Amino acid sequence: MFHILIAEDDKNARELLKAILKANGYLPFTAANGMEALEIIDKNHIDLILTDIMMPVMDGYELTQRLRDNNYEMPILMITARQMPEDKHRGFIAGTDDYITKPIDEEEMLLRIKALLRRAKIVYDHQISIGEVLLDYDSLTVTRDNDSVALPPREFYLIYKLLSYPGKIFTRVQLMDEIWGMESESTDNTVDVHIHRLRKRFKDYPEFTIETVRGLGYRVVKNI
């Protein structure tokens, strides 16, 4: 499941985009301006950004420029009511990958998103490699020494998240929000149960260790 961040200051438009993306198999995150978007990106793995241009606090141009200046390479699709060439030129100079104009055509937006993900090779390279261990996001499998095992989705998303940011501490609330969703009725204990299963499953893997950070949450430490 690909993670798409929607940066849009209009609440109704933001919720509509969220519903469309969710209905089409994406996991949407939402922000009301560029600053909120940066905070979300700092804490979550994001595959693509869908951003309006005109927003308070930080607009889409500045958001895009900051991300590119800090070597973030995820595709960015700008939403604009402006169709003047100079406006688009400014966006491409900042680092956007594509544009879509308002009013948004739902089918066109989804096609552009698929094209951007494909162009970025995320569909094909959605993998993490640590020593002899290979995690493949598309097949939900973990392979080591030619021995491949398919994990239940939640377990895979959890270990993939932790291994995407080795050494970074994630609270139970952060993991619950991203893996299970903010509207889930599951409790923090659900994370603990899944961590226990992952530790048991990978106890003989020397490449990494899942650590408990007392009072905070969990992190993965690379051992190679």
3-state secondary structure of 54: coil
Q: Quote the pLDDT of residue 70.
A: 87
Are 77 and 188 in the same domain? no
Same domain, 111 and 145: no
Distance of CA 70 to the CA centre of its chain: 17
Do residues 26 and 87 both lie within one domain?
yes
**Phi, psi dihedral angles at 46 (to 5 degrees):** -120, 130
pLDDT digits (tens, 9 = 90+) for 140-193: 999 998 899 999 999 999 999 898 888 888 888 888 877 887 556 666 689 999
Residues 109 and 26 in one domain: yes
**Are both 93 and 194 inside the same structural domain?**
no
Note whether 60 and 111 are same-domain residues: yes
Domain boundary among 104, 123, 142: 123
**Are 94 and 191 in the same domain?**
no
pLDDT reported for residue 108: 94
Q: Cα(213)–Cα(184) distance, rounded to whole angstroms?
A: 24
- How wide is the angle at C-alpha 202 spanned by C-alphas 197 and 203, nearest 5°? 95
Residues 70 and 132 occupy one common structural domain: no
pLDDT in tens, 192-203: 999 999 999 999
Q: Which of 64, 97, 123 is the last residue of a domain?
A: 123
Whether residues 80 and 131 fall in one domain:
no
Helix (H, G, I), strand (E, B) or coil at 97: coil
Same domain as 7, residue 92: yes
| Alpha-carbon separation of residue 184 from 19, 21, 194 (angstroms) | 16, 18, 15
What range does the domain containing 47 cover? 3-123
Alpha helices in the chain (DSSP H): 11-23, 34-43, 60-69, 85-94, 106-119, 122-125, 153-164, 172-175, 188-201
CATH number at 10 reads: 3.40.50.2300
Tell me what the pLDDT averaged over the chain comes to: 89
Burial of 183 (0-12, 13-18, 19+ CB in 10 A): exposed
Domain boundary among the residues 123, 140, 156 is at 123
Q: Which long-range contacts (CB under 8 A, 24 or more apart) does 52-55 make?
A: 52/7, 52/8, 52/9, 52/10, 52/13, 52/78, 52/79, 52/80, 53/78, 53/79, 53/80, 53/82, 53/87, 53/91, 54/9, 54/81, 55/7, 55/8, 55/9
120: DSSP letter: T
Q: Using one digit for the tens of pLDDT, what is the confidence trace for 4-42? A: 999 999 999 999 999 999 999 999 999 999 999 999 998
Residue 121 — pLDDT band, cuts 50, 70, 90?
low
What is the tally of structural domains in the chain? Answer: 2
